[in-house]
């Protein structure tokens, strides 16, 4: 579908432009990683690409990034060659993560001046992002498996310095790729890297919790906030377009525990807000509420909007 500009109530199609070099896309993406994907730049074309020895050769990673909310690594690769295999290359990059954890920790700590240890990182949440002007149908179909931590984005550049990153959504994700690929290296990596879904967070017998979450999810999607949902090992997050989790949900056998980013005494609520700012917990929240029934959802939606505003007060002043 063409992209149009509105000019005096008329639609004018924008003409596509070509990036001169693959490196142009890479540098532009690296400078805007937090805006695009909500992740932190570690190394790449903008400083020096991270590389590790693999089978007596240097294995270079285009862009190495870090998800600070989830404490996980993200590899981004930029492609112009339409012949590459998403599965083979994707698992090669994940294998590099699995087998070179110490090198990655060192790179992260040196670049961002951090002091992470291996145990601090959620290794099974590692993922690979491929960015290309165009993917073949074969490449798009390659991500039609569940538990596959690969993401495809087609990038288009238009006149007027307009750029569009369009995610390629899987058509269906019913089977696991490990049922079809018996390569021992891929099997090894697949056991350590996992893509979580709602089914991993809500057990089959928690029927009331599932219904409660589905009603809350409907309400969250009806808000004016541009939101992405993310499933982690321990919680479900609603993430803004800026990559910040503004509410996080821990499903329980009975009900939902919902965390907000503002202090527990920041505002008043008809529900009881608890303080978790000085208590260890899985999420990033500073306050929380336990809910059991649908009639509490409208207040949760209101608080979610307040949590968004509080967390993004540096942006929306």
Q: Is 60 exceeded by the pLDDT of residue 149?
A: yes
**Closest C-alpha among 247, 238, 231 to residue 284:** 247
Rounded to two decimals, the pTM is 0.78
Q: Compute the mean pLDDT over every residue in the chain, rounded to the nearest whole number.
A: 86
- Nearest Cα residue to 52 out of 90, 107, 91, 108: 107
pLDDT of 208: 96
Is the pLDDT confidence value at 48 over 70?
Answer: yes
pLDDT, residue 87, reads 81
Q: For residue 180, is pLDDT > 70? A: no
pLDDT tens readout for residues 91-118: 888 888 888 899 999 999 999 999 999 9
Residue 172: is its pLDDT beyond 70? Answer: no
Q: pLDDT tens, 12-32?
A: 888 887 776 678 889 999 999
* CATH topology assigned to domain 12-192: Trna Endonuclease; Chain: A, domain 1 (3.40.1350)
Residue 174 tokens read as 């019913």
Give 294 or 278, the one with higher predicted confidence: 294
For domain 198-311, the CATH class is alpha beta
SS (H, E, C) 94-130: HHHHHHCHHHHHHHHHHHHCCCCCHHHCCHHHCEEEE
Name the least confident of 37-41, 137-141, 246-250, 305-309: 137-141
Number of H helices, E strands in the chain: 9, 17
Q: Judging by beta carbons within 10 Å of its beta carbon (0-12, 13-18, 19+), is residue 252 exposed, middle or buried?
A: middle
Q: To the nearest 10°, the Cα dihedral for 65, 171, 164, 317?
A: -70
pLDDT at residue 242 in the model: 76
Rounded Cα gap, residues 146 and 128, in angstroms: 15
Q: What is the pLDDT of residue 246?
A: 93
Arithmetic mean of pLDDT, 229-248: 88
Give the domain ranges of the chain: 12-192, 198-311
Strands 50-54, 57-61: pairing is antiparallel
Confirm if 77 and 62 have CB atoms less than 8 A apart: yes
- Residue with the bigger pLDDT between 280 and 288: it is 288
Position 83 scores a pLDDT of: 74
């Amino acid at each position: 579908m063409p992209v149009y500009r509105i000019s005096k109530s008329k639609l004018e199609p924008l003409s596509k432009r070509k990036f001169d070099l693959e490196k142009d896309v890479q540098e532009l993406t690296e400078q805007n990683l937090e805006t695009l994907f909500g992740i932190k730049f570690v190394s790449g074309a903008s400083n020096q690409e991270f590389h590790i020895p693999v089978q007596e050769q240097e294995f270079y990673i285009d862009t190495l990034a870090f998800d600070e909310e989830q404490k996980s690594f993200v590899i981004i690769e930029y492609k112009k060659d339409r012949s590459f295999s998403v599965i083979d290359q994707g698992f090669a990059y994940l294998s590099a993560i699995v087998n070179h954890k110490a090198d990655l920790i060192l790179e992260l700590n040196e670049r961002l001046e951090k002091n992470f240890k291996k145990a601090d990182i959620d290794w099974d949440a590692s993922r690979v992002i491929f960015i290309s002007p165009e993917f073949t149908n074969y490449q798009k179909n390659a991500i039609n498996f569940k538990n596959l931590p690969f993401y495809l984005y087609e990038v288009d550049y238009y006149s007027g310095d307009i750029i569009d990153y369009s995610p390629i959504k899987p058509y269906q994700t019913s089977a696991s790729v490990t049922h079809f690929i018996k390569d021992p290296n891929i099997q090894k990596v697949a056991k350590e890297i996992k893509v979580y879904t709602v089914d991993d967070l809500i057990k089959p017998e928690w029927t009331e919790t599932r219904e409660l979450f589905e009603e809350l999810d409907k309400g969250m999607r009806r808000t004016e906030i541009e939101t992405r949902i993310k499933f982690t090992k321990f919680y479900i997050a609603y993430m803004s377009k800026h990559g910040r989790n503004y509410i996080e949900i821990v499903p329980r056998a009975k009900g939902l525990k919902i965390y907000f980013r503002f202090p527990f005494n920041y505002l008043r609520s008809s529900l009881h807000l608890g303080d978790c700012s000085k208590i260890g917990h899985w999420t990033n929240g500073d306050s929380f509420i336990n809910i059991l029934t649908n009639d509490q959802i409208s207040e949760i939606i209101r608080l979610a909007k307040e949590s968004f505003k509080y967390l993004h007060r540096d942006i929306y002043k």
